[in-house]
Amino acid sequence: MVREGTGVSATAAGRATLVSWALRLLGIGPLLILILLAAVVSLLTPDFLKPGNLGNIVAQTAVIAIVAIGQHLVILTKGIDLSVGANLALATVIGGLVFRQIDSAPLVMLAMVLAGAAVGTVNGIAYVYGRLPHPFIITLATLSICRGLALEFAVGHTTMRGMPEAIAAIGGSSTFGLPNSLFVVLGVAAVAVAMAKAMVWGRWIYAVGGQPEAALKMGIPVKGVLISTYVISGLCAGIGAVVLAGRTEASSPLYGNLLELDTIAAVIIGGASFLGGRGHIGHALVGAVMIGVIRNALNLLGVDVFFQMIAIGLIIVLAVEADVLRNRLEARARVMQAAGAQ
Amino acid sequence: MSMPSATPVLAVRHAEKRFGAVHALKGVNLEAHRGEVLALLGDNGAGKSTLVKCISGVHALDQGEIRLDGEAVVIHTPAAARRAGIETVYQDLALFDNLTPAQNFYCGRELAFPKWLPQGLRLLNGRAMDREAAAVLDRLKVRLPKFDAPVALMSGGQRQAIAVARATVFARKVVILDEPTAALGVRESRKVLDLIAQLRAEGNAVILITHNMEHVIELADRAVVLRQGRKVGELKPARANQQELVSMIVGAEA
């Protein structure tokens, strides 16, 4: 880069610094907003910071967070998984049916997780080998199919009571004063971070999401990478099913309603790019917690539930605009680079 | 200029390619030798892009054969071409905007361990990749503002340099460059031309597609002209025969 003391390049350098600072701010923006939000809410209502309430937030956010981690991997590849909520419901129902046959926590858990992964596999294979232009349609279809199957399979077509004790403990009990579901979230997040950042497979996800055609030219197994993200998204829905069925000690074909929207919102609010290729697991977690905090705060403040939906919708609009702004700033930075190189 | 070796490192024989009603390649022969820059010239639609896409594995030939070091090879995918030692710098660069230069260098052939696992499940050796990539960029005198920033933040010339440098890391036989200077200013073009000379000096056969006659005369050891899917001429470019070259390209009498 040219670094000369002339007035023109000094202003240019100043502007470049400004752009790079703005980009950095956008990167940690969601976390700052979350901290700010928590500070404001705790001033408005002292109940917010009470351990019992924080435990509530974690319990209510855990399922969104777990499923959002899978959704995040899919969104990294420019994809979307609309089936996660219905998939989770179907998984709890299958787990509930297994529980009716045998009171075995490992078997019930295995059934739920495998059911989730199986639906994800169907999504991935149908999307890639069905040569569909976008995963929107196929996952919309499996959303409908899973919800229907869950209602069909559930005894009495409604909620079934009962879960093995160990699963109830995972969803509802605490260890060292912290909810067990928090440990599940952290465990899933740790595995996902390790795979996405340390493994070649993770690098390929970013490559496929960044430039699919370049990925093909560079010999990356694009189809396999795409399918794997849907399998893992389904798997996460299955793990979410274990936590939710455990917390409620029940399985229901009605669980996970609109969970797809919550998880997509979490990923986008958290700061991952809807255009693919950008973001990390932390974004999904920050986004999930933000949704949890907003809901909880509005509840504590006695705000109507409809306004919660409106508030979350508005925040999604902000997050998407921030993503657009980031892309424009990067284009600006690129132009400045070119000017500096000449 | 080193002397061309006896056996061409790349030989294309009687290449035929059709896209529906369009007969893109009509029995084209092409040879490229180690240590030379071969300019592939022709007007738009002459078949040069089709020809290099067949060599780099994007398209398959309908008829004809490709020989590497005298042995017939089958190249059906870009990955197969790379494994065979043919690197391509695509016109769109095929860079990943969201990855750093080093990540771009190794994307699809990451340095990773342990070896007994399939590639996708191995752990990235990020430090080694950063080190190697930095060394290559240093050797080629490519200067980047930030080594750990995504290439989205870099200028056209810097991106082009990264794409060419990536090819130099892995090129063992043939490097194809499709209009590498088309989008660049004078200074950045100069840098890319220097890189091309370096690729030649390292013993590669360089196939260069360009519309810039100045670059051809300066750099190319040999020029092959295609017109309407046929090879219509071959000569050693020089100031003296520039007019002849242009006439061949457009199909007019000199």
Alpha carbon separation from B19 to A110, B22, B23, B25 (Å, rounded): 51, 5, 6, 10
Helix H or strand E encompassing A160: strand A160-161
Instruction: Give the residue carrying structure tokens 């690729």.
Output: B199
Tell me the torsion sign for CA atoms B89, B90, B93, B94.
negative
pLDDT for A4: 40
pLDDT for A338: 62
Of A46, A91, A273, A62, the C-alpha closest to A181 is A62
Distance CA B214, CA B242 (A): 9
In a domain, A1, yes or no: no
The phi and psi torsions of B168 (rounded to 5 degrees) equal: -65, -30
Distance CA A195, CA A193 (A): 5
Tokens matching residue A87: 């998939």
**Mean pLDDT for chain A overall:** 88
pLDDT higher than 80, residue A42 = yes
A219–B108 CB contact, under 8 Å: yes
pLDDT for B136: 86
Q: What is the pLDDT of residues A72-100, one digit of tens each?
A: 999 999 999 999 999 999 999 999 999 98
pLDDT for B220: 92
In a domain, A222, yes or no: yes
Give the residue extent of every domain in chain B.
10-96+170-250
Helix H or strand E encompassing B197: helix B186-201
The burial of A150, by beta-carbon neighbours within 10 Å (0-12 exposed, 13-18 middle, 19 or more buried), is given as buried
A 10 A CB-CB count for B14 gives: 13
Q: What is the pLDDT of residues A147-174, one digit of tens each?
A: 999 999 988 888 888 888 889 988 888 8
pLDDT higher than 70, residue A125 = yes
Alpha carbon separation from A91 to A60, A84, A119, A123, A235 (Å, rounded): 19, 10, 9, 15, 10
Distance CA A89, CA B212 (A): 63
CA distance B235 to chain A (A): 32
Lowest mean pLDDT, pick from A59-63, A242-246, B140-144: B140-144
Q: Give the residues of chain B that fall short of pLDDT 50.
A: 1-2, 4, 254
pLDDT for A2: 40
In a domain, A68, yes or no: yes
Q: What is the CATH number of the domain that holds A85?
A: 1.10.3470
Report the phi/psi class of residue B90: left, alpha or beta, with left for phi > 0 and alpha for psi in -120 to 50.
beta
CA distance B236 to chain A (A): 32
Hey, what amino acid is at B120? G
CA distance A328 to chain B (A): 11
In a domain, A115, yes or no: yes
Minimal Cβ distance to A199: which of B82, B90, B124? B124
In a domain, A190, yes or no: yes
pLDDT for A307: 84
Distance CA A268, CA A163 (A): 34
The phi and psi torsions of B63 (rounded to 5 degrees) equal: -140, 165
pLDDT for A174: 84
In a domain, A50, yes or no: yes
pLDDT for B183: 77
Residues from chain A that touch B58, judged by Cβ atoms under 8 A, are: 217
Alpha carbon separation from B32 to B38, B81, B172 (Å, rounded): 7, 16, 13
Angle formed by the axes of helices A259-270 and A84-101, to 10°?
130
A207–B96 CB contact, under 8 Å: yes
Distance CA B150, CA A120 (A): 31
A1–B90 CB contact, under 8 Å: no
pLDDT for B2: 47
Helix H or strand E encompassing B15: strand B10-19
Alpha carbon separation from A101 to A146, A163, B137, B181 (Å, rounded): 22, 12, 64, 70
ipTM over 0.95: no
Distance CA B56, CA A150 (A): 50
pLDDT higher than 80, residue A11 = no
Minimal Cβ distance to A217: which of B90, B152, B188? B90
Confidence band, pLDDT 50/70/90 cuts, at residue A227: very high
Please count the structural domains in chain A: 1
pLDDT higher than 90, residue A274 = no
Q: What is the pLDDT of residues A17-35, one digit of tens each?
A: 787 787 777 777 788 888 9
Instruction: Give the residue carrying structure tokens 């639609």.
Output: B45
CB–CB of A33/A290 below 8 Å?
yes
Chain B positions touching chain A (beta carbons under 8 Å): 58, 77-79, 82-83, 88, 90, 92-99, 103, 107-110, 112, 119-124, 143, 145, 152-158, 185, 187-188
Q: Which domain holds residue A18?
A: 7-341
In a domain, A2, yes or no: no
pLDDT for A25: 77
**CA A246, A251, A257, A263: dihedral to nearest 10 degrees?**
30
B95–A214 CB contact, under 8 Å: yes
CB–CB of A214/B108 below 8 Å?
no
Confidence band, pLDDT 50/70/90 cuts, at residue A69: very high
- A301-331 burial, b at 16+ Cβ within 10 Å, e below that, comes to eeeeeeebeebbeebbeebeebbeebeebbe
Distance CA B245, CA B1 (A): 21
Confidence band, pLDDT 50/70/90 cuts, at residue A6: very low
Of A198, A242, A201, the C-alpha closest to A66 is A242
Alpha carbon separation from B71 to A19, B31, B192 (Å, rounded): 53, 13, 31
Interval A101-126 mean pLDDT? 94
CATH of segment(s) B10-96+170-250:
3.40.50.300
Tokens matching residue A158: 């409604």
CB–CB of A166/A158 below 8 Å?
no
In a domain, A331, yes or no: yes
Of B99, B41, B31, B2, the C-alpha closest to B244 is B41
Helix H or strand E encompassing B23: strand B22-32
Instruction: Give the residue carrying structure tokens 């050796």.
Output: B125
Longest dimension (CA), chain A: 80
A329, closest residue in chain B (CA to CA): B153
